[in-house]
Amino acid sequence: MSLLIPVAKGDEYLEVHPTTLAAHRELGWRECEAREQPADDADPEGAKKATVAELREQLAAKGIEIPEGAKKADLVALLEANA
């Protein structure tokens, strides 16, 4: 059971701690029914949790050229762009 309180403002939705509810109300947020939060599926094949070696392996398997000196964030971006 969540201790957070669901609030909405326009089409935005948040779940806030009870101690911040009054401040949110002052800003125009209203209590609402809880909404199911979508799972974060934006991370293809766990790219952000993979090691650099694993990312390089995945990119090579897809035939994607890896720029020299590419950092982990670059590899993740390449993998996501070619998902």
pLDDT value of position 76: 87
Inside any domain, residue 39: no
Do residue 25 and residue 48 come from a single domain? no
Q: Mean pLDDT over all residues of the chain?
A: 85
Do residue 23 and residue 52 come from a single domain? no
The pLDDT of 32-46, averaged and rounded, is 67
Confidence of residue 50 (pLDDT cuts 50, 70, 90): confident
Inside any domain, residue 67: yes
The pLDDT of 16-22, averaged and rounded, is 94
Domain that holds residue 29: 1-34
Give tens-digit pLDDT for 63-75: 989 989 888 888 8
Do residue 29 and residue 51 come from a single domain? no
Inside any domain, residue 30: yes
- In total, how many domains does the chain have? 2
d(CA 33, CA 6): 6
